[in-house]
Structure 1
Amino acid sequence: MARRRQAVTIRHVADDAGVSLQTVSRVINNEPNVRPAMKDRVQASIDKLGYVPSIAAQRMSGSRSYLILALNDRERTIADWQSRQGTDWVDQMLLGGMLKCAEHGYRMIFELVDTHNDHVEREVKAAIAALQPDGVILTPPHSDNPLITELLEEANIPFARIGSREPGAGVPIVMGDEGAARAATERLIAMGHRRIGFIAGPSEYQVAQWRIDGWRKAMEAARLPTSGLCERGDFGFESGLAAAAKLLDLEARPTAIIASSDQMATAALEVARERGLRIPEQLSLISFDNTPIVRFTEPPLAAIDQPIAATISRAVELLIGAAGGESLPTGPIDVPAGFVERGSIGPAGGANDD
């Protein structure tokens, strides 16, 4: 039987470089009080021996845990996973967060918490006690849950609130929702559309209202009607079917619809086809999120591209800085969204515009 290769330890690095364990530890943790020549010498031994620092070793060397904890909504996340409908919110979170953590020798831990139950405080306290994270990322609807934000504030743990503009502890980071909705609406107006419907998300999410605000501001600036042209869903497909049906059954139906999620947009596409409407000749459609599913519809859906990975990456960067003694910005920090134009939008035609 082959013998297991002996693991390279911090002591091997110290012996090879001819320095103390404390010096190696300071280099590994990127502390400022190490001379450049000494840092190069230790790094050369690390590279030569193939030493990979463990989180346990790093945690023992100081007050940091080298962990960032991200909290996501349990109910909605599990529903998305089970439906297998192409939602990639979590994938994008991990992409942005894990890559940024890796740049700084950190790890990101992903936890699901139900913000609606009576155990949220206990669940968050248990996660903090077990992991002792250097920072926490809160996603909607956790971002403005006072049970969570006050607990983190009392524990003196830096945290970022994604999708929140509310003043208070933690750094609020928004993903350009209002501006993106306004820009998408203005694009449709420029194409000649005068009745533009909007399928919004649930009221418990602040971002849902920001998107309505962006749509409404663009419509009002162009002196176009909004009354009766906004319906709410819950970001899911079934709710999109109901909302789209209400809009498309109006006597003066919209010639374009913006939906606040890809699932609701694909639902609107199905309802339009049931009514014999051609896309985009008789109805233009724009979606939010730009998840993989919108590239495979017929026609492919134009979409507001949510900068999820970039937003989580920015949050990680700020939290790691705070763990090193930097102050968190009071915010809010706005990470702008993009827009991907595809075949689901075109000039207004075959319509009954006012």
Structure 2
Amino acid sequence: MAKPERPARGATIVDVAARAGVSSMTVSRVINGRAGVSAQARAVVEEAIKALAYTPNVAARSLVTSSELRIGVIYSNPSAAFMSEFLTGVFEEASACSARLVLLKGEGGRAPSAAALEDWIESGISGVLLAPPLGEAPDVLRVLRARGCVMAAVGAYQSPDTICVRIDDRAAAYQMTGLLLDMGHRRLGFILGNPDQAASAERMAGFYAAVRERGGVEVQVAQGDFTYMSGLAAAEQLLGAASPPTAIFASNDDMAAAVVSVAHRRHLDVPAELTVVGFDDTTAAQTLWPPLTTVHQPVRDLAAEALNLLVAQIAAGARRSRVPRERILEHRIVQRQSIGAPSSSST
């Protein structure tokens, strides 16, 4: 009899979803016996669970036999679309591993104060999940480390005491920039993200790596901070130049949506006169007109995997070295109607 295909680190809900070709949310629904899953999808998920020898809830159930598993989630991301995807992934995985969530939100896009963090930790937290950009917020990490909190972060880069789950931002930006260059664009605009986040620097590095390979490319850069308002200012700067770009790559979808808005206000046709691409593939990218070509990062799966590894680390106790410290999930380029070759009048 064939042995189950067990990943070396032990299968997770994300592994099951990838093998079955469904979302982590669908896997969670099957695990918990919920409605909303077709018989065919349920059969595929159950086969993937069997093939990978995935045992849901083992770590969490071993914990809840003696005490309640309380996972603290801290967030302050200004992108409502991103946070909707993030929290959906967190809620689904929390249900799958029988964890209670205790949320703490930083107001106005800022990190929670030290006093708020201390009070929140005192309420009783088994571990902490950090939404971007808080996985790289020094003041937040200082408090959590001082209190010995077990931590996992989405979108953050390698840290000795935090589990980090992300995509390869540099490779994703490189691929997107290559797509623009392949379509014939040689005047490119790039809108940077929050300068305090490593992902912003990685996306910029990927952009410049692709540009340097081709040569003969005119680059204009504007600073943003991942908010729609910063995208408006950056778009005005780029499109107001004497020789404006024929394509603008914004470091997230919120800023890309702002570019499209400014283009419409300036009576520029997207994509006939201006190509616009983004990053994240949030609902904003799909509902915008024209729909946005963007980098898809699986935000729900990133959140679910981070929570899954956090629970495993809590359960491991002194044997925490056995839990992966970093996990990189796959991204992909999603092409929609916001992209086209540069017009003959603009080249």
The interval holding the TM-score normalised by the smaller chain is: 0.7 to 0.9
Could you tell me which residue of structure 1 aligns to residue 232 of structure 2? 241
Matches within 5 A, 1:12-31: none
Encode CA deviations 1:156-191: one digit per residue, 9 max, x unaligned.
Answer: 321012222243211122233222211111111111
Following the alignment from structure 2 to structure 1, what is the Cα–Cα distance between the partners of residues 110 and 185?
Answer: 44
Tell me the TM-score normalized by structure 2. 0.74
Q: What amino acid does structure 2 have at the position aligned with 1:66? A: L
The match for 2:310 among 319, 327, 340 is 319
Query: Which of residues 86, 89, 96 in structure 2 aligns to 1:93?
Result: 86
When residues 118 and 100 of structure 1 are mapped into structure 2, their CA distance, relative to the original with a 3 A threshold, is closer
Would you say the 8 A contact 2:164–2:306 is kept in 1? no
The residue type equivalent to 2:71 in the other structure is: I
Letter in 1 for 2:238: L
Aligned match of 1:348: 342
Counterparts in 2 of 1:1-354, with a 5 A limit? 61-62=65-66, 64-73=67-76, 76-77=77-78, 87-113=80-106, 120-130=113-123, 132-225=124-217, 227=219, 229-325=220-316, 327=320, 329=323, 331-353=325-347
Q: Is the 8 A contact 2:163 2:310 kept in 1?
A: no
User: d(CA) in 2 for partners of 1:94 and 1:246?
Assistant: 34
Aligned-partner Cα distance in 1 for 2:232–2:109:
26
Separation (CA, whole Å) in 1 of partners of 2:111 and 2:272: 50
Deviation for aligned residue 1:298: 2.5
Q: Once superposed, what is the RMSD of the aligned Cα atoms?
A: 2.6
Q: Which has the larger radius of gyration?
A: 1
Q: 1:203 aligns to what SS in structure 2?
A: coil
For 2:249, what is the secondary structure of its paired residue? strand
Measured after TM superposition, the shift of residue 239 of structure 1 is 2.1
CA contact (8 A) 1:233 1:239 kept: yes
CA distance in 1, matches of 2:146, 2:260: 47
> How far 1:336 sits from its partner (Å)?
2.6
Counting aligned pairs with the same residue, the percent is 26
- In structure 2, relative to structure 1, the CA distance for the partners of 1:71 and 1:233 (3 Å cut) is same
2:41 maps to none
CA contact (8 A) 1:307 1:338 kept: no
Answer whether contact 1:175 1:308 (CA < 8 A) is retained: no
Q: Quote the residue 1:33 is aligned against.
A: none
For the residue of structure 1 that corresponds to 2:320, the secondary structure is coil
Residue identity opposite 1:292 in structure 2: T
Where structure 2 has 5 or more consecutive residues not aligned to the other structure, the ranges are 1-60
- Contact 2:111 2:140 (8 Å CA) reproduced: no
Code of the aligned partner of 1:155? R
* CA displacement 1:132-175 (0-9 Å, x = unmatched): 22211112332123333233334332101222224321112223
Shift in CA distance, 226/211, structure 1 to aligned 2, threshold 3 Å: farther
Paired residues of 1:256 and 1:284 also in contact (CA < 8 A)? yes
In 2, Cα distance between equivalents of 1:255 and 1:302: 15
> Alpha-carbon deviation of 1:116?
9.0
CA pair 105-175 structure 1, distance change in 2 beyond 3 A:
same
Taking structure 1 as reference, are residues 336 and 298 closer, same or farther at Cα in structure 2, changes over 3 Å only? same
Q: State the shift of 1:208 in Å.
A: 1.7
Shift of 1:58: 9.2
What does the per-residue CA deviation read over 1:84-141, in whole Å, with 9 as the maximum and x for residues that have no partner?
xxx32222122211211222221222211359989722211211110x2221111233
For the Cα contact (< 8 Å) 1:201–1:234, is it kept in 2? yes
